[in-house]
With several copies, the nearest count.
Chain A
Amino acid sequence: MSGPVQADAEVVAVRRAGAYHRLVLLAPAIAGSVRPGHFVALAVGGPASSMLLRRAFSVHRAEERGRSGGTVEVVLAVHGPGTAWLAERRPGDRVDVIGPLGKPFALPREPVACVLVGGGYGAAPLASLAEGLRARGCAVHTVLGAATADRLFGVLEAKRISDSLEVTTDDGSAGRNGIVSDVLPDLLTRTRSEVVYACGPMGMLAEVARIAAAHGAHSQCAVEETMACGIGVCMTCVLPVVGTDGVTRMVRACVDGPVFRGDAVRWADVGTVPTDALGAPAEPLAPMTGGLR
Chain B
Amino acid sequence: MTAARTATPAGLVPADVDLTTTLAGVGLVSPILTASGCAAAGREIDQFVDVRTLGAVVTKSIMLEPRSGRATPRMAETPSGMLNSIGLQGPGIEHFLKHDVSWLRRRGARVVVSIAGGSVEEYARLAQRLRGAEGIAAIEVNISCPNVEDRGQVFACNRSAAAAVVHAVRRATAPGIPVLAKLSPDVTDLVDIADGCVGAGADGLAMINTLLGMVIDTERMRPVLAGITGGLSGPAIRPVAVRCIWQVHRAMPEVPILGMGGVRTGADVLEMVLAGASAVSIGTVLFNDPSAPTRIAAELRTALAARGVARLADLVGYAHRDPDDRAVVVEEDPT
Indicate whether A and B are direct neighbours in the complex (CB within 8 Å).
yes
Residues of chain A having any CB pair with chain B under 8 Å: 3-4, 6, 43, 50-54, 77, 79, 96, 98, 120, 201, 224-226, 228-239, 249-250, 255, 270-273, 277-281, 284-293
A-B contact pairs, 26 of them (CB 8 A): A6-B289, A51-B77, A52-B285, A53-B75, A77-B1, A79-B2, A224-B1, A228-B84, A231-B47, A232-B40, A233-B39, A233-B44, A235-B86, A235-B89, A238-B72, A271-B226, A278-B68, A279-B68, A286-B152, A288-B229, A288-B250, A290-B212, A290-B229, A291-B144, A291-B145, A293-B210
Closest B residue, CB atoms, query A284:
B71
Q: Give the residues in chain B near A98, CB-CB below 8 Å.
A: 290
Q: Give the residues in chain B near A232, CB-CB below 8 Å.
A: 40, 44
The 9 tightest CB contacts between A and B, nearest first, are A279-B66, A291-B154, A287-B228, A279-B68, A236-B75, A293-B231, A229-B287, A232-B44, A279-B67
How far apart sit A72 and B91, CA to CA, in the bound complex (Å)?
36
Q: Are A6 and B73 in touch, CB under 8 angstroms? A: no
Q: Are B44 and A236 in touch, CB under 8 angstroms? A: no
Q: Chain B, interface size: which category?
A: 35 or more
Q: Are A52 and B82 in touch, CB under 8 angstroms? A: yes
Indicate whether B284 reaches chain A with its CB closer than 8 angstroms: yes
Min distance, Cβ A30 to any Cβ of chain B, angstroms: 13
Q: Give the residues in chain A near B157, CB-CB below 8 Å.
A: 291
Q: Give the residues in chain A near B9, CB-CB below 8 Å.
A: none
Closest B residue, CB atoms, query A120:
B1
How far apart sit A285 and B227, CA to CA, in the bound complex (Å)?
8
B204-241 CB mask vs A (1 if < 8 Å, else 0) is 00000010100000000001011111110011000000
Min distance, Cβ B215 to any Cβ of chain A, angstroms: 12
Q: Give the residues in chain B near A290, CB-CB below 8 Å.
A: 146, 154, 212, 229
Q: Are B154 and A52 in touch, CB under 8 angstroms? A: no
Task: Given A6-B291, A234-B37, output 4 extra A-B contacts at Cβ < 8 Å.
Answer: A79-B2, A233-B39, A233-B44, A287-B227
Residue among B65, B74, B79 with the highest chain A CB neighbour number at 10 A: B74
Q: Give the residues in chain A near B253, CB-CB below 8 Å.
A: none
Indicate whether B85 reaches chain A with its CB closer than 8 angstroms: yes
Q: Are B1 and A201 in touch, CB under 8 angstroms? A: yes
A-contacting residues, B37-95, CB 8 Å: 37-40, 44-45, 47-48, 60, 65-75, 77, 79-82, 84-92
Min distance, Cβ A123 to any Cβ of chain B, angstroms: 14
Q: Are B87 and A293 in touch, CB under 8 angstroms? A: yes
Q: Are B38 and A250 in touch, CB under 8 angstroms? A: no
Q: Give the residues in chain B near A292, CB-CB below 8 Å.
A: 87-88, 144-146
How far apart sit A196 and B329, CA to CA, in the bound complex (Å)?
43
Min distance, Cβ B26 to any Cβ of chain A, angstroms: 23
